[in-house]
Amino acid sequence: MSSADLTSERDLPPEREASAKGDVAPERDGPRDTGMDDASLHRWLTRTWRTPPGIIGALSSVDHKVIARRYLITAFLFLCLGGLNAVVMRIQLSGPQRGLIGPDLYNQLFTMHGVTMMFLFAVPIVQATGIYLVPLMVGTRNIAFPRLNAFSYWVYVSGGLFAWVSFALSMAPDVGWFAYVPLSGPEYGPGKRADVWAQMITYTEVSSLAVAVATIVTIFKQRAPGMSLDKIPLYVWSLLVTSFVVVFAMPAVMITSTFLILDRLVGTHIFNPAEGGDALLFQHLFWFFGHPEVYIIFLPATGMVSAIIPAFARRPVFGHLGLVLSLIAVGFLSFGLWVHHMFATGLPKLGASFFTASSMMIAIPNGVQIFCWLATLWDGRPVIRTPLLFVFGFFFIFVIGGLTGVMLASVPLDLQVHDTYFVVAHFHYVLIGGAVFPLLGAAYFWFPKITGRMMSERLGRWHFWLALIGFNAAFFPMHIVGLWGMPRRVYTYPAELGWGNINLFISAGAVLFFLSFVLFAFNLVHSALKGAPAGDNPWDAGTLEWATSSPPPSYNFARIPVVTNVEPLWAEREALPVATGLRVDARELIISTVAEAHPDIREKSATPSIWPLLAAIAVGGTFLYSIFTPWAIVWGAAPIAVTLIGWFWPKGDPEDEE
Amino acid sequence: MKRLASIAFAAAIALFLQGCAGWQSALDPKGPAASELAWLIWFFTGLCAVVWVLVMAALAVPLMMRSRERLEPLVLDAGADNRKLRVVMTAVGLTAVILVGLTLLSFFANRTLAAIGSDAALTIRVTGHQWWWEVRYEDATPSRILTTANEIHIPAGEPVRLLLTSTDVIHSFWVPSLSGKLDLIPGHMNVLDIKADKPGVYRGQCAEFCGAQHANMGTFIIAEPRAEFEAWWNDQLQPAAAPTSDEAKTGEDLFLKRPCVMCHKIGGTPAGGTVAPDLTHVASRQTLAAGTLTMSRGNLAAWIADPQGVKPGSHMPVVDLSGDELNAIVAYLEGLK
């Protein structure tokens, strides 16, 4: 690669810039953006960065925005499916001994609800939001490893389809999203249901890992010149920490699911106590992933809150450094408290007490975040729009979830509420309050950037109030019915226990909550077609993604901005300084140093390719076949190898031949 | 909107009061462990409610100062930021103090719970099965060891040690009005000490998802005065009552000839199966099929005639019986008091 010859128009007077340009061999170089007028720059960049036309072109796109849009829509569809599952379950539970569905279907329903919401909605949607926004917020033209990014989308879709097709064929997993052994083991989980769980988990996590790696590299190496670590927006920080948590947590669940499939398909006895295995090992491995998972979902949501609050409070966020440190602290601590899911398994008391202390401790950095946001609102003059409303909903709900989390962290108290509806209430308060409400706020906030149109404010308010009331009506009473003794995961309950009325109330709330999403879906479609034009920066927010047009062009920025502040658009009210020197006839990016974001080298970004799709099909087919025979891994290796060779086939590059 | 909220609030209160009479409730403690835990639950809830109200009040203030116009972003003022920093640091410090306090509180509650069973005299082995409970009363004299199913009799006012394990999947033993839950895990033995303050019937239920009929895996703890408990134990040690009527006699013969005998045990007869509940004194129990049906002639007949209709997925197979045969078997079982 050529060494960096990037210059900032701000730092260098024009005559020196011209001489700097003369340093590289011009005959080997194509045209550059230095000194080019806006119209021809636009023509060049559009031709270089566009997604090819036609169906093959669409399937080979590597544009992070195109892929992220697909991810967002797919994840939203899975949310609707998972939500429908929940409504059916709630109708079954709305009265004692209701015969709408039997245990077989009910157990598949709650398993699919959990699997869909955790693996097919929550994690993909926060990562997809990151795929869309991170390159824009750090001021680069595409995500790192664009083909890997395309590949991970196709893998995710095939994993999701696999799970839902198996559900349609009535062979969906029915062992809970946590699939504890021995229930999911070879002896007590006959048929292919637990195999579907195990293989689906493994390959959707392949997708998460790939996205996490791409996100980390994008943030570390592709930031706009000047965006030193202290000037990275909090949302990007949250994605960085999340991606590291993904990298360390996801392998644990992949090991769990792989051990399970080995027990089931190959006949190992890793979890079989009769042969020296241990059923508890499964739980340790699973929760070593499962608890960080909560923060994988929650941390990006805090990043969204940190993006929305300053924009509407009209001041930079209070305690930027404190918030960054809190994100990192939460990331670390999230690995130290998995055992609080296992207090009822009869672990040694001293160890359990240690996990009480560490579980309580994570409330401190979370408290720091809440207090900093409150301080930002106190000091600002909040302009109340729908995104901010959802942030208020987040405070209202998430604080309850956090406080009941403190209750669950206490060993003795947990022994009463563990595996009851109290816990169901708690984690829906944390996940819906802590992640879905910020996500909805983020949808209203960034919708204009993605589509170029505003969402309806009036429908947005209706949506908010319907969601807030429906949510609390559905989930608050669950705390009470849990304390009254109602266990989770039951498809029915006897009338004499007196849980009928309260469950009817809960079910009504659940239906209301579901309806709020119907309204949201209507608002999305209606606004995408008929919404008011948004302009580049409708909220007058301060971060880089608002510096380009809405929707952003395929190349994101005509000239790469130079960053001087956390909110560059607030610091430079007229126009951002820019860096130039990139070729316009090839997909070039600035690679910058990790800490200071000094421009380092120019690097090529991958061109569109159909191979990632073919590779995903090969991988998906291998996994699908492998629920029937372990030989699938052997036979599947051939098509995977072929597609990977096609993907990475080297192409001549004149600069490399020097 | 306000009216709607007040109606919802009133409804929530009404629901709350109605459910307090529950007999499987952590908020209705009937033993020392559950009392300690109920106290802890109320204390945590109260404290958390106060914290939540404070946070919401802090959120409400900036709402009062809201503005409707589009404003230029504010320039930061170092002095104001420093004052805010002090407030935030105080709040963080308070949070830490509260959390340390709650950690200590849980630690002491743990010690109180551990002390309950220090002089436990009676030991009962509870083994989880899909989807019923095997209950074995240990005794130094082998002939006094007693195995029953689903209902656990204990002497009131005395600590009882439960040894918990499972033969198939993971279950969890939970009688909320007496104590917190503890898992039954194959290959592991867990120890739970329970104590009921007064005589009474306390309902419990499996709390760990264990397959198709997890919902119908109930149990009852029946606490009795010591004398009645001893009398009950002695009764249970007796072999099954011999059938008295001709119909019941036919029933016994049928039971021994049909597949029933493969799984169930009836003391004093050749029936010695151990994979399903012991039926020696089945008619003396309050319920059938682990708390699914109350014990009655009709329910016995319904359960035997169509176990998959009552408990879909349960391991009790349908045995092909004519109407007369069914009646005879029910008559026989009904006599097993």
A407 inside 8 A of chain B by CB: yes
B57 and chain A in contact, CB less than 8 A: no
Query: A314: which chain B residues are within 8 Å (Cβ-Cβ)?
Result: 71-74
Nearest neighbour of A416 by CB, restricted to B26, B68, B99: B26
CA of A383, closest CA in chain B: separation in Å? 6
Give this prediction's pTM: 0.92
The reply to whether B140 touches chain A by the CB within 8 Å rule is no
Q: pLDDT value at position A21?
A: 40
Q: pLDDT exceeding 70 applies to what percent of chain A?
A: 95
Calpha distance B320→A544 (Å, rounded): 75
- pLDDT value, residue B8: 55
Query: What does the pLDDT read at residue B3?
Result: 53
**pLDDT tens digits, one per residue of B52-90:** 999 999 999 877 766 555 567 766 677 778 888 999 999
With CB atoms and an 8 Å threshold, state whether B207 touches A494: no
Residue A9: predicted pLDDT = 43
Residues of B in contact with A410 (CB under 8 A): 40, 44, 102-103, 105-106, 109
Q: Which residues of A189-218 are buried (b: 16+ CB within 10 A; e: fewer)?
A: beebbbbbbbbbbbbbbbbbbbbbbbbbbb
User: What span, in angstroms and rounded, lies between the C-alpha atoms of A354 and A360?
Assistant: 10
DSSP letter (8 states) at residue B22: -
A389 touches chain B (CB under 8 A): no
Residue with tokens 């209301």: A512
Contact A607, A38 (CB under 8 A): no
User: Does the beta-carbon distance from A349 to B110 stay under 8 Å?
Assistant: yes
- Hey, what amino acid is at A282? F
B17 has pLDDT over 80: no
Cα dihedral: A529, A533, A539, A545 (round 10): 80
| A472 torsion bin: left (phi>0), alpha (psi -120 to 50), beta (else) | alpha
> What's the whole-number mean pLDDT along residues A531-535?
93
Query: Contacts of residue B161 in chain A, CB cutoff 8 Å?
Result: none
Please write the tens of the pLDDT for every residue from A264-320.
999 999 999 888 899 999 999 999 999 999 999 999 999 999 999 999 988 899 999
Helix (H/G/I), strand (E/B), else coil: B30: coil
Residue A154 pLDDT class (50, 70, 90 cuts): very high
Q: What is the DSSP string of A445-477?
A: HHHHHHHSBPPPHHHHHHHHHHHHHHHHHHHHH
Cβ-Cβ pairs closer than 8 A, A with B, add up to 293
Among A455, A459, A460, A458, which Cα is nearest to A531's?
A455
Question: Which residues of chain A lie closer than 8 angstroms to B22, CB-CB?
Answer: 484-485, 497-499
User: Cβ-count burial of A459 within 10 angstroms (0-12 exposed, 13-18 middle, 19+ buried)?
Assistant: middle
| Three-state DSSP state, B224 | strand
pLDDT at B205 over 90: yes
- Angle at B73 (CA atoms; ends B67, B78), nearest 5 degrees: 105
When comparing pLDDT for A524 and A16, which is higher?
Answer: A524
Most confident of the following: A199-203, A378-382, A506-510, B61-65: A506-510
Return the pLDDT at B71.
67
Q: Amino acid letter at A239? A: L
The pLDDT of residue A553 is above 90? yes
Q: Which of residues 54-113 of A touch B (CB under 8 A)?
A: 102-104, 107
Average pLDDT of chain A, as a whole number: 91
| Sequence-separated (6 or more) residues with CB below 8 Å from residue B65 | A381, A382
**C-beta separation of B24 from B177 below 8 A:** yes
User: Is residue A10 pLDDT above 70, yes or no?
Assistant: no
Three-state DSSP class for A91? helix
B116 Cβ under 8 Å from any chain A Cβ: no
DSSP secondary structure, A589-605, as one string: EEEE-TTT--EEEEEE-
Partner residue opposite B25 with nearest CB, options A176, A485, A487: A485
Scanning A527-586 for CB atoms below 8 A from B yields 540, 542, 567, 570
SS (H, E, C) A201-238: HHHHHHHHHHHHHHHHHHHHHCCCCCCCHHHCCHHHHH
Q: How many other C-beta atoms can be found within 10 angstroms of the C-beta atom of residue A366?
A: 22
* Probe site for chain A from B185, B194, B293 (most A CB atoms < 10 A): B185
Task: Find which of A101, A106, A368, A415 to mutate to test the B interface (most B CBs within 10 Å of its CB).
Answer: A415
Task: Give chain A's end-to-end CA distance (angstroms, integer).
Answer: 10
Gap between the Cα atoms of A51 and B3, Å rounded: 54
pLDDT of residue A7: 45
Residue B194 · residue B221 · CB < 8 Å: yes
* Interface confidence (ipTM) of the complex: 0.92
3-class DSSP string for A406-434: HHHHCHHHHHHHCCEHHHHHHHHHHHHHH
Helix (H) or strand (E) holding A140: none
Residues with Cβ within 8 Å of B201's Cβ and at least 6 positions away in sequence, in order, are B23, B220, B221, B222, B223, B286
Poorest-pLDDT segment among A374-388, A406-420, B156-170 = A374-388
pLDDT in tens, B327-337: 999 999 999 98
Degrees (nearest 5) of the Cα angle A410, A333, B114? 25
The DSSP line for A31-47 is -BSTT--HHHHHHHHHH
Nearest to B19 by CA among A57, A125, A504: A504
Cα-based distances in Å from A112 to A86, A157, A160: 10, 15, 11
Q: Which helix (DSSP H) or strand (DSSP E) does residue B193 occupy?
A: strand B190-194
List CB contacts (< 8 A) between A378 and chain B: 58, 61-62, 84
Angstroms from A74 CA to nearest CA on chain B = 30
